[in-house]
């Protein structure tokens, strides 16, 4: 069974930084692109980033471009999201999700909560 477990969320001040992790198990991790998707309190889903299986291709939403950096360590089966220059509007539950054949997301973690507040 494929499992994804996010960690690293917490309370951070505006302008601060945080690194999220997503540990994967039950799959050949390097074979799959991975996504970060976030959900602000009471709001809908917002795609944040996609990283190819090799890590060589990375894509970002305009709302986070230049501030967030996605990476992965395939030897550790772990996906990362380095977030900097955080803003109040970055407050959300952050999910990692495995990408399926049509770029849909077929497995999701339970999420980790990021709160940006002074």
Residues that bind other proteins (CB under 8 A): 35, 37, 44-47, 50, 59, 61, 95, 100-106, 108-111
Distance (Å, whole) CA 17 – CA 82: 7
Nearer to other proteins, 50 or 78 (CB): 50
- What's the closest the beta carbon of residue 10 comes to other proteins, in angstroms? 19
Distance (Å, whole) CA 85 – CA 105: 28
- What's the closest the beta carbon of residue 60 comes to other proteins, in angstroms? 9
Contact 82, 72 (CB under 8 A): no
Nearer to other proteins, 44 or 56 (CB): 44
């Amino acid at each position: 069974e494929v499992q994804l477990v996010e960690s690293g969320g917490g309370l951070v001040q505006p302008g601060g930084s945080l690194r999220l992790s997503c540990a994967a198990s039950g799959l050949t991790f390097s074979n799959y692109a991975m996504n970060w998707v976030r959900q602000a309190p009471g709001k809908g889903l917002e795609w944040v980033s996609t990283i190819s299986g090799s890590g060589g291709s990375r894509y970002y939403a305009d709302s986070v471009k230049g501030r967030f950096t996605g990476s992965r360590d395939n030897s550790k089966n772990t996906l990362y999201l380095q977030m900097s220059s955080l803003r109040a509007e970055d407050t959300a539950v952050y999910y990692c999700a495995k990408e399926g054949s049509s770029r849909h997301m077929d497995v999701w973690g339970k999420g980790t909560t990021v709160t940006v507040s002074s």
